[in-house]
Amino acid sequence: MNKIIKTIFLIAIILLAKTGAKAQINFKEKQIIKDNYFAILNDNKSTTVTSRNENLVLNVITKYNKNFIFKLTSNYSDDLGFDHKKYCLFYNGIEVIGMDFVLHEKANQIKYLNGTFEDIVNPNLVASLSEHNATQSAKLFFKSKNNLINNNKIIIEDVGICLTKKVLNINSTYCLVYRFNVKSNFTDGIKI
């Protein structure tokens, strides 16, 4: 009986060691300049492409926060055999504008990555306007800026929420905003 317990214990230690080895991500080079990230990964089995490992690499480089999740939003392959996968950051399920990473992969290995990231501390998750007031304000803005007469129809589509900073205020905090497309007979569509 004692021998069986020792064998089970030894198997458990080996499995934990193998799991830990897979979870280790080694960077050949890593640069972080302000909020811009660039890293080259070592060629090893831990960077073999799986959705688990892709998220693990992103979590390691951004020093994982349980409120963050990266979601694959686009993917394309180039003529050199690289796959380029764009991951956008979501905070508590809300997309964060301007924070994303691209993983560059070849031969089923993550080779390097680049992106923009900044820790989000206490974002304002309450909109200061209702969805109706935000879309009405956008309609009025486009009518006044384009000197439109009343028969021009403005259509608001794809209304959603996201987190962003005020564009011209570098010290602003992240806040909840509405994002939507504005269409009319004077434009093909402007995304705001």
- pLDDT 10s digits, 171-184: 778 888 888 888 77
Phi-psi region at 42: left, alpha or beta (left = phi > 0; alpha = psi -120 to 50)? beta
At 191, the pLDDT band (50, 70, 90 cuts) reads low
* Paired tokens of 147: 């000197």
Q: State both tokens at 149.
A: 């007469």
Pairwise CA distance, residues 35 & 20, whole Å: 29
Whole-angstrom Cα distance, residue 105 to residue 111? 5
Tokens of 91: 């905070």
User: Which contacts of 125-130 are long-range, i.e. CB under 8 A and separated by 24 or more positions?
Assistant: 125/92, 125/94, 125/163, 125/176, 126/176, 127/161, 127/176, 127/177, 127/178, 129/178
Residue 45's pLDDT band, with cuts at 50, 70 and 90, is low
Q: Which pLDDT score, from 0 to 100, does residue 151 have?
A: 53
